[in-house]
Structure 1
Amino acid sequence: MRLQLNGLGVLMRSGRSSGNLRVLGYRNNAWKQGLRNEVLVNNNVRFFIGGLVNTKRNVNISRHLPFHHTDVFSVVKDVQKYPEFLPYCSNCKVLEALNENSLVAALTFEHRLLSSRETVTYDVSWDEPKAVVSVAENTTFCKAIAYSWHFTPRINGCLAEVEMELDFHSPSTAILFDSFSNAIKKTIMEAFVQRLKDSKAPMLSTES
């Protein structure tokens, strides 16, 4: 796959071509299938049940942080340190440095309550200090996953935005995710904010 990161082309492992990284630029058949199913009733009346069978989920988080955008970028980009602070992430191994703006990393996630453990291979690309994007395919629960972080300088801090796009293997798994999505949104951002505090990154203002 080839991703476009704010005008910068980044060659990814799969070798396929793609679109604009600002909107995650990560599209394959997994994203195009299953949006909605058309059903025929009495051979001529049509309606859509996409809401019942849709396996795709999109989660957006946006927050003003009292840190310089370069510090926030550095923490998000440093995937090797994720096991030190990101919930459920127990290990990270960089498999390959593709170039100065991208790498391939294997992250292991464990959840004791669900008795689950999985290692996911992510293609990670960045445009310093503006954006970090991680993508993965064919995980235990998802056909495709994409995380897109963007950092915009603001007075007394920065605007940190993360968009998560997930395409689950089954509707039931997608529905299960819905019950945890709000907690996931809070947990992700809080984990990175706490990491910034622990790393002694200078606070530019009182946290909002």
Structure 2
Amino acid sequence: MKKISRSALLPYSAESIFNLVNDVASYPDFLPWCGGAEVVEESEDRMVASILIAKAGIKQSFTTQNFLKKPESIEMNLVDGPFKSLFGVWQFKSLDEDACKITLDIEFEISNSFLNAAIGALFEQIVSTLVQSFCDRAKQVYG
């Protein structure tokens, strides 16, 4: 099982960054590897969403069920996709009114060796750069 953890300090409120990360439908607008995103179900404290990874000739989608604790955390659990397991947690820690620390911890295992060879390194690269992608997006959206 692969484990990746990334964090960053941002000059924005925890709620603002929570809202950016939770806006799954906008992922194709700023994540170059995201070929599509669909919110399948949504309520105040839960979301089921599908994301299409489309990069370097690879197209693979996966679906997660996300448990939302606004503005503190988003917990992601695998519903469907090329993974044997996938679990992740975004944490948004308020430092003051206009500053927060965001942390992403993800654990994943690809379902078989053929798929691992095809998308394992790509998914690892995507996850490793995801926090920075949201930092860049926050600067673009919030200035």
* TM-score range normalised by the length of the shorter chain: 0.7 to 0.9
Measure how far apart 1:171 and its partner are. 5.8
Deviation string 1:77-133 (CA, Å, 9 cap, x unpaired) is: 111111111231121122222x3211212211101x2x2112212212210100012
Query: Distance in 2 between the 1:106 and 1:148 partners?
Result: 17
Aligned to 1:151, which of 88, 92, 110? Answer: 92
SS of residue in 2 equivalent to 1:81? helix
Once the two structures are superposed, the pairs formed by residues 30-179 of structure 1 within 5 Å of their partners are 56-97=1-42, 99-111=43-55, 113=56, 115-140=57-82, 142-155=83-96, 157-170=99-112, 173=116, 177=120
SS of residue in 2 equivalent to 1:194? helix
Measure how far apart 1:71 and its partner are. 0.8
CA contact 1:137–1:143 (8 Å) conserved in 2: no
Measure how far apart 1:76 and its partner are. 0.7
Higher relative helix content: 2
Amino acid at match of 2:35: S
Consecutive unaligned residues of structure 1, counting only runs of 5 or more, are 1-55, 202-208
TM-score, length of structure 1 as denominator length = 0.59
Q: How many aligned residue pairs are there?
A: 140
Measure how far apart 1:178 and its partner are. 6.2
Specify the alignment match of 1:36 in structure 2. Answer: none
Amino acid at match of 1:158: C
SS of residue in 2 equivalent to 1:199? helix
Higher relative strand content: 2
* RCO higher in structure (CA 8 A, sep ≥6): 2
Query: Distance in 2 between the 1:91 and 1:65 partners?
Result: 27
Consecutive unaligned residues of structure 2, counting only runs of 5 or more, are none
Query: Distance in 2 between the 1:185 and 1:134 partners?
Result: 13
TM-score, length of structure 2 as denominator length = 0.83
Change (3 A) 1:71 1:93: same
State the superposition RMSD in angstroms. 2.4
Query: Distance in 1 between the 2:5 and 2:54 partners?
Result: 24
Q: Percent identity?
A: 23
